[in-house]
């Protein structure tokens, strides 16, 4: 049934495109993977755009969906050329930054990309994804407000390592140390033990207990009973951590830190946007894990409306397609037209479903909120 709905919407959009006069309407392209391994994501983006179109309720906005394929540059270029030829110059997509070099060929088009890789606005691309830069800036403010000044940033040695290296340079380097760990969980635990000086702290406890056992006074016996409840003795040389990781890899790091007896009452545990991943409740031994994210209430409302309308659970990033169309409509309504990318350089902050974002210093930045895991719920800090 849902395939019928998606196909129906696809052809309705195309039919409307062919029958309406260009200068009376705003044609908005949707460049998404309607074929290949990311096909389900493309369908999800199309449905989310339909929700936004229904809420905007402006008959003068027409959505033109075109298949970008899944990492298919040939199909991507064909679709862009077809959009431009039909008079479509404002395009939502693509979803990733892998094809940005292709977009530079089309100066006459404006792309509102859903990528989070680069917040900097290029000559014809605006990225509205939740950038790592915005996430780290939010975490930096959070740690400062909690008076933490000995922070370690942890992230894996993988294909994104150099990208993260570049982004953390925007932070106050005097307050942060970097620790890179292996993606192999068999190696990870030993690396975390070195980071936390685990073996030395373990020996500290053993030596102290051995010393107290030789004493026969009540004070020593009482202290020994207290030490029997501990796993290590001595504190780590950091008061907060930022883990830039996701899924099972993130959980492995958290488990290794707890195994190494890092007290989450003394050390503030933070990570990057997790899109309110509920699996954190089941495999996370850290009681309070903090992270920046989009507006949780709006995120839940969007997902519930999507499910109620289509009977499907949405992909996390489809809310970005919703906001992309909202942004385009706002600029078009405000300026009566959209001639160039400079029309999007708005001084005031913009409120979307994901939260508040703004265009400043030739960048798109999001004002994110801090949430934490508390029991089996996410709570705003």
Look at residue 207 and tell me whether its pLDDT is greater than 70.
Answer: yes
Distance (Å, whole) CA 14 – CA 348: 35
Look at residue 18 and tell me whether its pLDDT is greater than 60.
Answer: no
Q: What is the pLDDT of residue 118?
A: 83
Q: What are phi and psi of 176, to 5 degrees?
A: -125, 145
Torsion of CA 346, 348, 351, 356, to 10 degrees: 100
Distance (Å, whole) CA 242 – CA 226: 31
Residues contacting residue 171 through CB under 8 Å, at least 6 positions apart: 136, 137, 140
Measured CA distances, 99 to 77, 93, 135, 342 (Å):
10, 10, 24, 22
Cis status of the peptide bond prior to 94, with omega within 30 of 0:
yes
Task: Assess whether the region 2-129+296-360 and the region 133-294+371-380 belong to the same CATH fold.
Answer: yes
Look at residue 301 and tell me whether its pLDDT is greater than 50.
Answer: yes
| Residue 270 tokens, joined | 């933070």
CB 283 within 8 Å of CB 344: no
Q: What is the pLDDT of residue 354?
A: 86
Locate the domains of the chain by residue range. Answer: 2-129+296-360, 133-294+371-380
Look at residue 6 and tell me whether its pLDDT is greater than 70.
Answer: no
Distance (Å, whole) CA 138 – CA 182: 26
Q: What is the pLDDT of residue 353?
A: 86
Segment 149-166 mean pLDDT: 94
Distance of CA 167 to the CA centre of its chain: 14
User: At 189, is the pLDDT very low, low, confident or very high (cuts 50, 70, 90)?
Assistant: very high
Which range (208-212, 248-252, 331-335, 358-362) has the least confidence?
A: 358-362
User: At 2, is the pLDDT very low, low, confident or very high (cuts 50, 70, 90)?
Assistant: low
133-294+371-380 in CATH: which number? 3.40.50.2300
Segment 60-89 mean pLDDT: 92
Residues contacting residue 124 through CB under 8 Å, at least 6 positions apart: 103, 104, 106, 107, 109, 110, 111, 341
Look at residue 8 and tell me whether its pLDDT is greater than 50.
Answer: no
Give the three-class secondary structure for 342. Answer: helix
Segment 296-321 mean pLDDT: 93
CB 44 within 8 Å of CB 318: yes
**Alpha-helical segments (H) within the chain:** 2-19, 39-56, 73-85, 100-103, 132-145, 161-167, 185-195, 198-213, 218-227, 247-259, 279-283, 296-310, 318-335
- The average confidence (pLDDT) of the chain is 89
**DSSP code for 36:** S
Q: In this predicted model, what pLDDT tens digit does every residue of 89-137 receive, in sequence order?
A: 999 988 777 777 889 889 999 999 998 888 888 889 999 999 999 999 9
User: At 283, is the pLDDT very low, low, confident or very high (cuts 50, 70, 90)?
Assistant: low
Nearest Cα neighbor of 64 from 101, 90, 44, 43 is 90
Q: What are phi and psi of 339, to 5 degrees?
A: -100, -40
Q: What is the pLDDT of residue 286?
A: 83
Which range (86-100, 140-154, 229-243) has the least confidence?
A: 86-100
2-129+296-360 in CATH: which number? 3.40.50.2300
CB 46 within 8 Å of CB 10: yes
For residue 226, the tally of other CB atoms under 10 A from its CB is 9
Give the three-class secondary structure for 379. Answer: strand
User: At 197, is the pLDDT very low, low, confident or very high (cuts 50, 70, 90)?
Assistant: very high
Q: What is the pLDDT of residue 173?
A: 65
What sign has the CA pseudo-torsion 356, 364, 141, 270? positive
Q: What is the pLDDT of residue 119?
A: 86
Q: What are phi and psi of 263, to 5 degrees?
A: -80, 115
Cα–Cα–Cα angle for 355, 357, 358, nearest 5°? 160
Kindly state the percentage of the chain with pLDDT values over 90: 65
Q: What is the pLDDT of residue 272?
A: 97
Look at residue 285 and tell me whether its pLDDT is greater than 80.
Answer: no
- Across the chain, how many H-helices and E-strands are there? 13, 15
Q: What is the pLDDT of residue 199?
A: 95
Look at residue 39 and tell me whether its pLDDT is greater than 80.
Answer: yes
Q: What is the pLDDT of residue 28?
A: 96
Look at residue 21 and tell me whether its pLDDT is greater than 50.
Answer: no
Distance (Å, whole) CA 334 – CA 380: 33
């Amino acid at each position: 049934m849902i395939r019928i709905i998606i196909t129906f919407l696809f052809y309705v959009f195309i039919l409307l495109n062919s029958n309406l006069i260009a200068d009376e309407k705003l044609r908005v392209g949707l460049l998404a993977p309607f074929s290949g391994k990311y096909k389900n994501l493309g369908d999800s983006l199309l449905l989310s755009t339909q929700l936004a179109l229904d809420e905007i309720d402006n008959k003068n906005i027409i959505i033109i969906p075109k298949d970008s394929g899944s990492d298919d540059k040939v199909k991507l270029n064909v679709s862009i050329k077809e959009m431009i030829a039909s008079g479509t110059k404002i395009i939502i997509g693509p979803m990733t930054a892998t094809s940005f070099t292709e977009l530079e060929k089309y100066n006459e088009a404006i792309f509102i990309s859903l990528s989070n890789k680069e917040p900097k606005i290029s000559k014809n691309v605006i990225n509205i994804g939740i950038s790592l830069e915005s996430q780290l800036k939010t975490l930096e403010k959070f740690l400062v407000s909690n008076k933490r000044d000995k922070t370690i940033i942890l992230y894996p040695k993988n294909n994104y390592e150099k990208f993260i290296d570049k982004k953390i340079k925007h932070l106050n380097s005097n307050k942060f140390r970097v620790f890179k760990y292996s993606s192999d969980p068999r190696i990870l635990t030993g690396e975390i033990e070195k980071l936390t000086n685990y073996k030395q702290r373990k020996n500290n406890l053993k030596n102290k207990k051995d010393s107290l056992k030789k004493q026969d006074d009540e004070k020593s016996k009482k202290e020994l009973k207290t030490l029997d409840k501990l796993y290590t003795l001595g504190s780590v040389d950091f008061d907060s951590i930022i883990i830039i990781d996701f899924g099972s890899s993130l959980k492995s790091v958290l488990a290794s830190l707890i195994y190494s007896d890092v007290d989450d009452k003394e050390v503030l545990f933070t990570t990057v946007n997790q899109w309110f991943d509920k699996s954190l409740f089941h495999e996370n031994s850290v009681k309070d894990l903090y992270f920046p994210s989009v507006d949780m209430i709006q995120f839940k409302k969007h997902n519930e409306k999507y499910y109620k309308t289509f009977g499907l659970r949405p992909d996390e990033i489809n809310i970005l397609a919703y906001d992309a169309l909202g942004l385009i409509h706002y600029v078009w309504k405000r300026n009566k037209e959209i001639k160039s990318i400079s029309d999007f350089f708005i001084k005031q902050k913009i409120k979307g479903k994901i939260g508040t974002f703004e265009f400043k210093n030739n960048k798109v930045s999001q004002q994110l909120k801090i949430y934490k895991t508390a029991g089996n719920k996410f709570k705003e800090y």
